[in-house]
Amino acid sequence: MGAEYNGAMAPPSPHSASASVLRERLRGGSPLLLDGAMGTELERRGITSTLPLWSTHALLEAPGIVREIHSDYVAAGAEIVTANTFRTQRRTLERAGIAERARELSTHAVALAREAVAGHASPCWVAGSAPTLEDCYRPDLVPDAESLEREHGEHASALAQAGIDLILVETINCAREGVAAARAARATGLPFCVSFVCDERARLLSGERLAAALDAVCALEPDAIAVNCLPPAAVLGCLPKLAERAIPFGVWANLGSPSADGFTRSDDCPPERFAELAGVWLDAGARIVGGCCGTTPDHIRAIFERRAAMESGSR
């Protein structure tokens, strides 16, 4: 299946809306529905996602399944599809001996997402994932300032050149990496969102307060701020910190927990319950909602239906 890719970038979908329309949508109208997990969804469908490459294995071995997952999220109602670039940075690929393929694989991932949204009748945006350079759950491994600036800059540039609509700086565990990644995203001129992973005390995994981290990145004028890859129970403490800033905010929580092998999915929160929780985030003013590790197209479809019910007043 890997032979499908010929190295060319897929052209933007005729239904892909512009950055200006995206920014307008963030400020008003119906909240945006983000897609759900890629890595754990690949595993659920039988595709190897071991470290260090994790979901990048599928770009090399099963690109058709990546496209299928994107298509399933679009069919479920997602309006933002996140390209499978979570682990296409040079630093990660170097551990597998393929560092020179970083830009190629980022472009490949964006092309697959573009193909998935191309035939959809409603506007869909393609986001590029820009996560931590090291383990999202290990703030002690965050690189030095020079490496952060250089490597986030390289990844953001690759995403922009591949033709994404926005950059999701996500699963960030300390303020200084958030600032470096935000600076790199801003340099592209594209819309961008900066999202932190927090605990139930509204503190980053580094121990820093979410409020202080938000202040640091808001100085760079992101189009949105968010929290992601945290348990739904931890979201409530973060909502006031997000809502008190004059910037659109989002939430995409996880279902499960990190483990030595990557991430362990949990089925304890079925789609209907997850959608109820998303309704709380929407009530608090969230402009982007979706799912992170452990969620499926069924969870996104349930949020889509919940949002529709809320907007019709029938809850």
- The domain that holds 190 is classified in CATH as 3.20.20.330
Sign (positive or negative) of CA dihedral 116, 122, 128, 132: negative
Is residue 264 domain-resident?
yes
Question: What pLDDT is stored for residue 8 in this prediction?
Answer: 41
Q: How sure is the predictor about 101, in pLDDT bands with cuts at 50, 70 and 90?
A: very high
The domain total for the chain is: 1
Using alpha carbons, select from 90, 241, 155, 262 the residue that is nearest to residue 169: 155
Is residue 13 domain-resident?
yes
pTM: 0.92
Sign (positive or negative) of CA dihedral 83, 84, 86, 89: negative
Is residue 314 domain-resident?
no
The residue with greater pLDDT, 7 or 26, is: 26
Is residue 312 domain-resident?
no
For residue 198, report the phi and psi dihedrals to the nearest 5 degrees.
-130, 170
Taking residues 180-199, report their average pLDDT.
Answer: 98
**Residue with structure tokens 């945290």?**
230
Question: What is the domain extent for residue 189?
Answer: 2-307
Residue 180 has pLDDT above 60, yes or no: yes
Is residue 58 domain-resident?
yes
Average pLDDT, the chain: 92
Q: What is the DSSP letter of 209?
A: B
Is residue 200 domain-resident?
yes
The residue with greater pLDDT, 19 or 134, is: 134
**Residue with structure tokens 């659920």?**
44
Is residue 97 domain-resident?
yes
Is residue 26 domain-resident?
yes
